[in-house]
Structure 1
Amino acid sequence: MKKFLVLACALALSGLSSAALAGEGFVRGEAGQSDVKVKVDGLGSDSDKDTAYSLRGGYWFNPNFAVEGHYSRFYDKTLYDDGTDYVDGKLSAIGLGIVAKEHYSESNLGFFVQLRAGVARGKVSVDTSEGSGSATSTKPYYGIGAGYDFSRRFGLSLNYDHNQGSGDGLKITANTLSLGLEARF
């Protein structure tokens, strides 16, 4: 009886496609613009925009759910330079999160919307003619996107992401609008 049960299970599992049992890895590159806002207690607030990019990778467990890791650079500019003294500022983050995706067709191709959320460790770095320093904080991030999967292996999307950081009287937010290209393997 046990041999028959094992054989029946083996035949049932062999009938399932490998695509149904196995997910697929992905890499994604995004480029766009970040609107960075800084608020310092007692000093006020300011904002600036800069070109941003993000490199993401992860694993789709099925067409609707994935985990991802990412590195994002939101800001990298010279804030002051008079030829002698200078101040350079950088804002970046590494993170880990989940992605939920829904296609408008049963084939899991074509138009889709996606949500992503997780935790990111943001880092603000300042380099001056007098020295340098940095600070980090770990906060949640979230984003939304819409796009088009041209094939099972390639898609394009427009994304909006919100990242934040704070500490010692400093609050920073980075709202990023980007175009993303994703390859799945």
Structure 2
Amino acid sequence: MKKSLMLACALVLAGLSGTASAGEAFVRGEIGKSDVKLKLDGVGSESDKDTAYALRGGYWFNSNFAVEGHYSRFYDQTLYNDGAGYVDGKLSAIGLGMVAKEHTTDSGLGFFVQLRAGVARGKISLDTSEGSGSETSTKPYYGIGAGYDFSRRFGLSLNYDHNQGSGGGLEITANTLSLGLEARF
């Protein structure tokens, strides 16, 4: 029994190491627009838009599957300023997830669609003339994209991502449409 388990583990590790050596690392920058919605129990809801960006990096195990980590900034605005007092708000997230990509050709180049999903730790920060504070929550995220891989090393895509957070009666969603540039090495 132990020998069978050891053999199975060795085969799995050998398969993973072969897959990993056939893959490639990547970095990706995205810039676009976020639509941020806030809903506070008993108070109501509000929404606003802001320029958003994301920095992503990870590893493609093959042309179809990757793991990624990311930092995203969805919102960074002054919410109130009358000269005597101010309130600045920021919304960001760090996350870890999986990416699945399918090309329209067998070469692994050209047009593609991709899906991504994972878990992100969102953070809302408020800085005021009276002090500052922040709140975090961990929630799933997901996204879809379409683009074009010009070579094995370079691609461009249009992406839509949905992130959410909650805590203390506050629910937040950030829906982002962005243009992404990916380099693989």
**How does the TM-score come out when normalised to structure 1?**
0.89
Q: Does 1:101 align with 2:107?
A: no
- Partners of 2:19 and 2:105 lie apart in 1 by 18
Runs of 4+ in 1 over 3 A off after TM superposition: 18-21
CA positional deviation for 1:22: 1.6
- Partners of 2:59 and 2:21 lie apart in 1 by 13
- Partners of 2:92 and 2:21 lie apart in 1 by 36
Q: Which amino acid aligns with 2:125?
A: S
Aligned position for 1:148: 148
Aligned position for 1:77: 77
CA positional deviation for 1:51: 0.1
Q: Which amino acid aligns with 1:76?
A: D
Aligned position for 1:91: 91
Matches within 5 A, 1:1-185: 21-185=21-185
Give the unaligned 5+ runs of structure 2. Answer: 1-17
- Partners of 2:153 and 2:88 lie apart in 1 by 40
User: Could you say which structure has the larger radius of gyration?
Assistant: 1
- Partners of 1:55 and 1:21 lie apart in 2 by 24
Give the unaligned 5+ runs of structure 1. Answer: 1-17
**How does the TM-score come out when normalised to structure 2?**
0.89
- Partners of 2:20 and 2:73 lie apart in 1 by 35
Deviations 1:63-102 (A, max 9, x none): 0000000000000000000111000000000000000000
Deviations 1:101-147 (A, max 9, x none): 00000000000000000000000000000010000000000000000
CA positional deviation for 1:19: 9.1
- Partners of 2:164 and 2:20 lie apart in 1 by 37
CA positional deviation for 1:43: 0.5
Q: Over aligned residues, Cα RMSD in angstroms?
A: 1.3
Secondary structure at 1:62 match in 2: coil
Secondary structure at 2:77 match in 1: strand
- Number of corresponding residues: 168
CA positional deviation for 1:20: 9.1
Note closer, same or farther for the CA distance 1:168–1:19 as it changes in structure 2 (3 Å cut): closer
Asked whether the equivalents of residues 121 and 139 of structure 2 are also in contact (C-alpha less than 8 Å), the reply is: yes
